[in-house]
Each structure stands twice: as C-alpha cells, then as structure tokens.
Amino acid sequence: MADPIQTAPSYGYGTTATVAERNKVLRNTYWLLALSMIPTVLGAWLGVSTGITRSLTGGLGLIVFLGGAFGFMYAIQKTKDSAAGVGVLLAFTFFMGLMLSRLLATILGMKGGSGIVMTAFGGTAAIFFVMASLSSVIKRDLSGMGKWLFVGALVIMVGAIINVFVGSSIGMLVISTLAIGVFSLFMLYDLKRIIDGGETNYITATLGVYLSIFNVFQSLLIILGITSGDD
C-alpha cells in the first residue's frame, strides 16, 4: 500500500501543500536570502566608495528609489516562475544596497560610525532570528495580520515621503520606530505563510522577507545615527 502524502491545513491562506514542499520552499528561501546579501553588500560598497548616490537627495532620490524598486518588483513578479527570477531578484538587491549607500556613508562619517553599523546589523540579525523561531512554534492562524500590516506599511511609506520634504528628525525617529515594529511582524507573517503553505514560490518569499530585513536594518541605522549624534 502506498504511503499517504503528509499534508497540513492551509490556515486560510488558500493553498494546501505537502510538508516536504513547504520545507523545500523554506529551505530555498533561506538559501536565496543568504545569497541576496552578497549583491546588497557589493551595491552598498560601490555606492560608499564612489559616492555615486551622493547627489540623490530630496525629491530626486525619492523618484529614483521608488521608480527602481517598483520596477524591479514588477519584473520579479513576471519572472518568478523561471530561473531568470533569481537573477532579477539579485539585481534588485544590488540596487537596494546602492540606494542604502548614501545613508551608510553618512553614518560611517560619524564618530563611531562603524560601531553603529555593526550594532544595526546585530539588531537586525537578532530580530530575524526571533521572528524565524516564532514562526516555527506558533500554531495559530496569522493570515489576518496581512491586511493590517499592509496598512501599517502604507502609512509608513506615506509618512516617509512627506518627511523627505519636511526634514524632521523627530518625524524620522517616529517613522523608523514604527517601521521596525511593522516589518519585524512582516518577517513573522511571511515566514509563517511559507510554513503553513500559503507561499509556494521561494523567489517571492525571499523578496518579502528581504524587504522586511532591509527596512528593519535601515530603520535601526537611522535611529542609532540620530540618537548617537556626532560627539
């Protein structure tokens, strides 16, 4: 007699996948996520060392960032079911590293800047570890979080766009603090979706988790940079 295929409930995400399939998606997501850090670091290094993004301030920087980010995300959605999707995703992470380089250059120019970067990196890694651990032990359905997290992310994006033109340090602190909370929960939500069978494409799964990690790291850099000052 053939062994029955082991499945688990989809927790409202709309799909039911075998445990083996879910584990494969999760494993591939972690591998691709780790790989995506290489072009991110390369992009950041290139931007810091050449100053290529130094002139991207105010509205111009916002247009380049939003245009590039949404363009890449559209391309990833179109290529997610082919090998080309991996290449597009890695190109996107290089672009994101390049866009991060202006903030990194500012932080590194401060007294103790390298320590701030390492603290932000360690904090981001700790948050990811906690969210990944929670996603594997929480049994309840988290699908209802999605719409609230989307609203939260939208509010943060609108606030950040307004603050580009206002230039308020307090506003930036508030937005960054909210971003850490919202995108930390997004990590939990996205990883739980994979475990529960709601996300079966490891490329789009990686994209979601990567964006959360990027936003948490960037927000920690901003908070630490503002609160540390330049003694």
Give the pLDDT confidence of 154-204 residue by residue, as tens digits.
999 999 888 888 878 899 999 999 999 999 999 999 999 998 888 889 999
| Rounded average pLDDT over 67-78 | 92
Among 56-60, 65-69, 97-101, which stretch is predicted with the lowest mean pLDDT? 56-60
Residue 4 is predicted with a pLDDT of 37
Residue 209 is predicted with a pLDDT of 95
Categorize the per-residue pLDDT at 218 as very low, low, confident or very high, splitting at 50, 70 and 90. very high
What is the share, in percent, of the chain residues with pLDDT greater than 90?
60
pTM: 0.87
Categorize the per-residue pLDDT at 75 as very low, low, confident or very high, splitting at 50, 70 and 90. very high
DSSP annotation string for the chain: -PPPPPB---TTSS---BHHHHHHHHHHHHHHHHHHHHHHHHHHHHHHHH-TTTT--HHHHHHHHHHHHHHHHHHHHHHTTSTHHHHHHHHHHHHHHHHHHHHHHHHHTSTTHHHHHHHHHHHHHHHHHHHHHHHHH--S--TTHHHHHHHHHHHHHHHHHHHHHH--HHHHHHHHHHHHHHHHHHHHHHHHHHHHTS---HHHHHHHHHHHHHHHHHHHHHHHHHHH---
- Per the prediction, the chain carries an average pLDDT of 87
So where are the chain's domains? 19-228
